[in-house]
Copies of this chain bind each other. A is one copy, B any other.
Amino acid sequence: MINKIPQAAVPRLSLYYRVLVESRGKDYVSSDELSKLTNFTAAQVRRDLTYFGQFGTPGKGYEVEALKKAILSILGTDKNWDVVLAGVGNLGTALLSYKGFEKQGFKIICAFDNDLRRVGKTLEGIKIQDISELGNTVKERNISIGIVATPGEGAQEVINILIKSGVKAILNFAPIRPQVPPSVGLLNIDLSIELERLAYFLTKSKS
């Protein structure tokens, strides 16, 4: 049932889901409407939705509730996911207090830092633990998603511990490109690089 979906289509599915939630009240929604709501082309919407089955009714569009359920199941967001956070500086704190995750089924259930001034404090109901306890806790609680919000130094080491303890997918905010085995999913969010992409856009626009 779950087939070959182009990598590039996955974030679009997330977005379709989001606008479907927002369009509550409607029974059907057309690719054209989804196009307007997401800024993707209608053809792209239709193509994306056929990757995992035929949901549309010609003449009417897509049934909102059925499509929502289908996307959830494809993405795996119909389950709840426990998440571990490594690094509770400014960014880590922001992530801890971000309410958007839980709504999508992601729950940060423990957080670690190596700064003794932070260890032991409780933020958003979570007691920050010493980084030395990271491996054991992750193993015990059988966590498969990790968020790394440490400085670049030490990030690879933290990631090694996460992987050795069973984490299978990592969202990395540290400005490094960590080495991970192919069995582990890795997404890097690299703020400087995003700004440099903007700088390139601005530079290029002027010529």
The verdict on A197 contacting B10 (CB below 8 Å), with A2-B204, A100-B191 known, is: yes
The verdict on A187 contacting B196 (CB below 8 Å), with A98-B91, A168-B205, A203-B75 known, is: no
Size of the chain A interface, CB-CB below 8 angstroms:
61
Q: Which residue of B lies closest to A7 (CB)?
A: B197
- Nearest Cβ distance between residue A187 and chain B, in whole angstroms? 5
The verdict on A193 contacting B14 (CB below 8 Å), with A202-B76, A205-B168 known, is: yes
Contact with B along A77-117 (1 / 0, CB 8 A): 10101010000011101110110110111100000000000
Q: Is A74 an interface residue (CB 8 A)?
A: yes
Q: Choose among B98, B177, B197 the residue that contacts A191 (Cβ–Cβ < 8 A).
A: B98
- Nearest Cβ distance between residue A19 and chain B, in whole angstroms? 9
Q: Which residue of B lies closest to A179 (CB)?
A: B39
Q: Is A165 an interface residue (CB 8 A)?
A: no
Taking a contact as CB atoms under 8 Å apart, the answer to whether A202 and B90 are in contact is no
The 5 closest A-B pairs by CB, nearest first: A76-B203, A90-B94, A185-B201, A169-B198, A76-B199
What is the interface of chain A, defined by CB distance below 8 A to chain B?
A: 2, 5, 10-11, 13-15, 18, 38-39, 74-77, 79, 81, 83, 89-91, 93-95, 97-98, 100-101, 103-106, 144-145, 168-171, 175, 177, 179, 183, 185, 187, 189-205, 207
27 contacts between A and B (CB under 8 A): A5-B200, A10-B196, A10-B200, A11-B193, A11-B196, A14-B193, A15-B193, A18-B175, A39-B177, A39-B179, A74-B200, A75-B199, A75-B200, A76-B199, A79-B199, A81-B199, A89-B94, A90-B97, A91-B98, A93-B94, A101-B192, A103-B192, A106-B192, A145-B198, A169-B199, A187-B194, A189-B189
